[in-house]
Amino acid sequence: MNSTIPEYRRNATPFLYGQETAAVARVLEAGQYGHTEVTEEFEQKVAAFLGVREAVAVTSGTAAMHTALLAAGIGPGHKVIVPSLTFCATIQAILACGATPRFIEVNPDTLCIEPDAVAEAITPATRAVMPVLFGGRAIDLSSIRSTLDEQGIAVIEDAAHAFGSHSGPARVGNTGDLTCFSFGPVKNLTCGQGGMVIPRTPEEAATVRRLRLLGVVTSQAARQAATSYRVEGFGLRYQLSSINAAIGLTQLPRFKSTEVSRQELWRAYRAELHHTVGVTLVDVDVDHTVPHLCVVRVANREAVFRQMLAAGIAVGVHYPPNHLQPAFAQWRRSLPVTEQIGKEILSLPFHQHMTEDDVRHVASALKRAIGSGR
Ligand SMILES: *Cc1c(COP(=O)(O)O)cnc(C)c1O
């Protein structure tokens, strides 16, 4: 974009293919600002792309998780099993329903939850589990599926990182669970801001549609032709504007190139780093994943972080563990694996403007930082 600034100076940034501005101008010129048939076309195209029956668009990934949890009947008194290692949005969505988090550990190699850890955390108050598809990697809970079903525990995936990734032969969204995507600025596909719920049933789809529109059920067309409208339940202002949907609609047909370039970028990092002593690359199962992040674990993270910043490289941390956050202290428990991971993780610059030269530059700076830290 800006050729004077090296791309490794940005940890993440949106990738636009060039048609987005014209698409936004078209909806503005047509007066299609709010939720219109442009939003509905985006829902249908996403559903077709994923191979699912329905997709319901909302304003953000957080709104997707909030409405999905409500559609699954999650509320006060309920416990939701969730990794501590996620973006704070996952936890806020649980709290927004009046439910509370039960934090669990993740596997240090994948940063994803494991079926055993979920099974151990189940209590009579457990009503849902939220796997976070870290870095875009699919999570397989089939080994505890019957336990979850018997106890009426819903699986609500935080797939904010995982748009386009595969789970077995199908894309994420097809597991029969509720799946929540984010189309925020730096996600695999962007609407500027946006999110999507993949519901399990037509009833859940209707509930999310009602929740996103202030509890009003009547269609836009019917409302314009009537003197009243029906408020049928609780609701929020979560519908996706056509302005945002238009951005997503132009990105979607070009997604194959997103998939390929993100995989190539991740493989380039792996080629540079997988023999490096002192650096552990967090595996994303790249052949099945549209990678969202490139995370390494290093022993001396604080020093390495500072040295990388000093070298002009935009490193980050995804994420500071939530059970250590002041807002969530009430649900804090000892999670030694996550606490150790939290001290070691470092996210390298990862976005589609980067070239293999940028990757080599980052990798050699990392090797220097590790070497001088020992
Ligand atoms: C981005 C993100 C979210 C929230 O999505 P928004 O669209 O920003 O609301 C939730 N969980 C994870 C893991 C994310 O990366």
Question: What's the gap in Å between 227 CA and the centre of ligand 1?
Answer: 39
Is residue 333 within 8 Å of 120, Cβ to Cβ? no
Name the residue with the closest Cα to ligand 1, atom 14. 160
Instruction: Report phi then psi at 166, rounded to 5.
Output: -100, 145
Does ligand 1 have an atom closer than 6 angstroms to the CB of 61? yes
pLDDT reported for residue 79: 98
CA neighbor of 244 nearest in space, from 197, 183, 292, 179? 183
pLDDT reported for residue 371: 87
Sheet holding 345-348, edge to edge: 280-281, 294-297, 345-348
> Of residues 187, 256, 343, 367, which has the active-site annotation?
187
Does ligand 1 have an atom closer than 6 angstroms to the CB of 158? yes
Question: Which atom of ligand 1 is least distant from the CA of 63?
Answer: 9
Does ligand 1 have an atom closer than 6 angstroms to the CB of 251? no
Name the residue with the closest Cα to ligand 1, atom 4. 61
**From CA 108, how far away is CA 338, in angstroms rounded?**
8
Query: Is the overall model pTM greater than 0.85, yes or no?
Result: yes
Question: SS3 string of the chain?
Answer: CCCCCCHHHCCCCCCCCCCHHHHHHHHHHCCCCCCCHHHHHHHHHHHHHHCCCCCEEECCHHHHHHHHHHHCCCCCCCEEEEECCCCHHHHHHHHHCCCEEEEECCCCCCCCCCHHHHHHHCCCCEEEECCECHHHCCCCCHHHHHHHHHCCCEEEEECCCCCCCEECCEECCCCCCEEEEECCCCCCCCCCCCEEEECCCHHHHHHHHHHHECCECCCHHHHHCCCCCCECCCCCECCCCHHHHHHHHHHHHHHHHHHHHHHHHHHHHHHHHCCCCCCEECCCCCCCCCCCCEEEECCCHHHHHHHHHHCCCCCECCCCCHHHCHHHHHHCCCCHHHHHHHHHEEEECCCCCCCHHHHHHHHHHHHHHHHHHC
Pairing of strands 178-182, 195-198: antiparallel
Does ligand 1 have an atom closer than 6 angstroms to the CB of 244? no
Is 187 one of the catalytic residues? yes
pLDDT reported for residue 5: 86
Name the residue with the closest Cα to ligand 1, atom 5. 61
Is residue 139 within 8 Å of 131, Cβ to Cβ? yes
Question: Which atom of ligand 1 is least distant from the CA of 187?
Answer: 1
pLDDT reported for residue 374: 52
pLDDT reported for residue 75: 98
Question: Which atom of ligand 1 is least distant from the CA of 133?
Answer: 13
Of 11, 60, 62, which is best to mutate to test ligand 1, by the most ligand atoms within 8 angstroms of its C-beta? Answer: 62
Of 182, 191, 322, which is best to mutate to test ligand 1, by the most ligand atoms within 8 angstroms of its C-beta? Answer: 182
Please give the C-alpha separations between residue 158 and each of 4, 14, 293, 344, in angstroms, as whole numbers: 36, 20, 15, 23
Query: Mind listing the pLDDT tens digit of every residue in the chain (374 residues)?
Result: 455 789 999 999 999 999 999 999 999 999 999 999 999 999 999 999 999 999 999 999 999 999 999 999 999 999 999 999 999 999 999 999 999 999 999 999 999 999 999 999 999 999 999 999 999 999 999 999 999 999 999 999 999 999 999 999 999 999 889 999 999 999 999 999 999 999 999 999 999 999 999 999 876 667 677 888 899 999 999 999 999 999 999 999 999 999 999 999 999 999 999 989 999 999 999 999 999 999 999 999 999 999 999 999 999 999 999 999 999 999 999 999 999 999 999 999 999 999 999 999 999 999 999 986 55
Question: What's the gap in Å between 86 CA and the centre of ligand 1?
Answer: 9
Question: Which atom of ligand 1 is least distant from the CA of 193?
Answer: 7
Does ligand 1 have an atom closer than 6 angstroms to the CB of 64? no
**From CA 242, how far away is CA 267, in angstroms rounded?**
36
Is residue 121 within 8 Å of 357, Cβ to Cβ? no
User: What domains are there in the chain, each with its CATH number?
Assistant: 20-252 (3.40.640.10), 255-372 (3.90.1150.10)
Question: What's the gap in Å between 171 CA and the centre of ligand 1?
Answer: 19
pLDDT reported for residue 175: 86
